[in-house]
Copies of this chain bind each other. A is one copy, B any other.
Amino acid sequence: MASGSEECSGAATIRDVARRAGVSATTVSRSLRGISYVAPETRDRIARAAAELDYAIPGYLPRPQLIGVVARYPSQWFFAESIATIERTLRGTGHDLVLYGVGDEEGRRNFLERIAASSFLDGIIIVATSFDETERAALDRLGVPVGVVGGYAPGLPRVGIDDENAMRMATQHLLGLGHREIGLISFAPGDTVGYDTTWTRRQGYTVAMDDASAPVPSQWIISRESTVRGGVRAAEELLTLSRLPTALVAMSDEMALGALWTLRRAGIVVPDAMSIIGFDDNEMAIGSDLTTIHQPVHEQAERATLGLLARLRGDDGEDEDINLPTRLVVRGSTGPCRG
């Protein structure tokens, strides 16, 4: 019985963990101490074996595998849905999600300080956020795989949509209904963090209008923050003009809904007196009968996450820039031009 303490007490040793995981005791030690590289799949197997045997290296805390998720406005639709999808996709892979909001200067500085001061992130997913050269260099120095959901990030694997094409489709829907006087409710281009998306969507609108030889008076392009309130304000400004367009394209459903309510309150009947089309196809668009462009947010976030996990396993197959299809969803807020 003197040597039987292992059998009697059931307390597992590092050798038991090694046996169960099919690796050497040295590998178990390296993995659980987190002090040198062990392939993620092996690390998972060892962590599972250690958990099953209730084994911990005395005095050591396990080191989690962490994926940093960087998002401008974590509570706004595209960001919130992406974050929720990334969290779901990471379940069971042994990775946890660490969130960084970078919609303001303080948040950006905090994120850059966190990644500069420490290297506890195993990978990073950027949600629709642009970085300047200095910030990009800091990311590159980290030396961990990075994936991108939406927006634009030259040189990084990205899953997004073709914003120009989507916005052209929205504008052409209105042109097809006979509208030629079409205004644009735009994100604010001065908002540099979202500059690329704003610019690319503007381009889609402009190209469609040019193709149809429809002129665009500059006062019909109104830029505001990308929120319901921004849409309310854009529509209020529009209503001060002596001549109104007959239709509006908005860069988000939130802005479109803000504009829709403002028009209704002003007694302008939608779509009889004014058509309006949004962008995103969020839950509110369905409820409020808003014609819009559907973009597959969950698929973008899921594919970007799976791609990152593949790269963490050493598989380079998903190292691409992918655009998923968008589509026009016609509901009740757009109709023929009665001008």
| A42 contacts B by Cβ under 8 Å | no
A64 B62 Cβ-Cβ under 8 A: no
Q: Can you list the 7 inter-chain pairs with the closest CB atoms, starting with the nearest?
A: A75-B80, A51-B117, A228-B287, A75-B84, A62-B118, A91-B110, A80-B80
Residues of B contacting A114 in the complex (Cβ-Cβ under 8 angstroms): 96
**Pairwise interchain contact A228-B283, C-beta atoms closer than 8 A:** yes
Q: Is the CB of B120 within 8 A of A92?
A: no
CB distance from A224 to the nearest CB of B (A): 13
* 28 sample A-B contacts, Cβ–Cβ < 8 Å, listed by A number: A34-B61, A35-B60, A36-B59, A51-B118, A62-B117, A63-B63, A64-B66, A64-B98, A64-B118, A74-B87, A75-B80, A75-B84, A83-B83, A83-B99, A87-B101, A87-B107, A88-B101, A88-B106, A92-B110, A96-B100, A97-B98, A98-B98, A98-B99, A227-B283, A228-B283, A229-B283, A229-B287, A254-B283
Q: Are A284 and B284 in contact (CB under 8 A)?
A: yes
Write out the residue numbers on chain B whose beta carbons fall within 8 Å of the beta carbon of A229: 283, 286-287
A257 within 8 A of B: yes
- Chain B residues closer than 8 Å to A92, beta-carbon distance: 110
- Determine whether the beta carbon of B84 is less than 8 Å from that of A101: yes
Which residues of chain B are near A232, meaning CB under 8 Å?
Answer: 287
Q: Which residue of B lies closest to A30 (CB)?
A: B59
A residues 108-159 near B (Cβ < 8 Å) are 110, 114, 116-120
Q: A81-B75, A286-B229 are in contact. Are A120 and B87 (CB under 8 A)?
A: no
Cβ of A210 under 8 Å from chain B: no
- Which residue among A63, A81, A114 has the maximum number of chain B CB atoms within 10 Å of its CB? A63
Q: Least Cβ distance of A87 to chain B in Å? A: 5
Contact B287 A120 (CB under 8 A): no
The chain B residue with its CB closest to the CB of A227 is B283
Q: Does A289 contact B (CB under 8 A)?
A: yes
**Residues of the B chain whose Cβ atoms lie less than 8 Å from the Cβ of A100:** 87, 96
Number of interface residues of A (CB under 8 A): 56
Question: Hey, which chain B residues are within 8 Å of A96, CB to CB?
Answer: 98-100, 114
Q: Which of A218-239 contact B (CB under 8 A)?
A: 227-229, 231-232
CA distance A51 to B96 in the complex (A): 24
Could you tell me which residues of chain A, from 17 to 50, have a CB within 8 Å of some CB in chain B?
34-36, 47-48
The answer to whether A98 and B61 have CB atoms under 8 Å apart is: no
Selected from B61, B84, B228, the residue in CB contact (under 8 A) with A286 is: B228
Q: Please, which residues of chain B bring their CB within 8 A of the CB of A64?
A: 66, 98, 118, 120
* Most chain B beta carbons < 10 A, residue from A66, A106, A288: A288
Q: A48: nearest residue on chain B (CB-CB)? A: B117
The residue in chain B whose Cβ has the minimal distance to the Cβ of A76 is B80
* Nearest CB in chain B: distance from A236 CB, A: 12
* Cβ–Cβ < 8 Å partners of A34 in chain B: 61
The answer to whether A199 has its CB under 8 Å from any CB of chain B is no
A83 to B227, CA, bound (A): 18
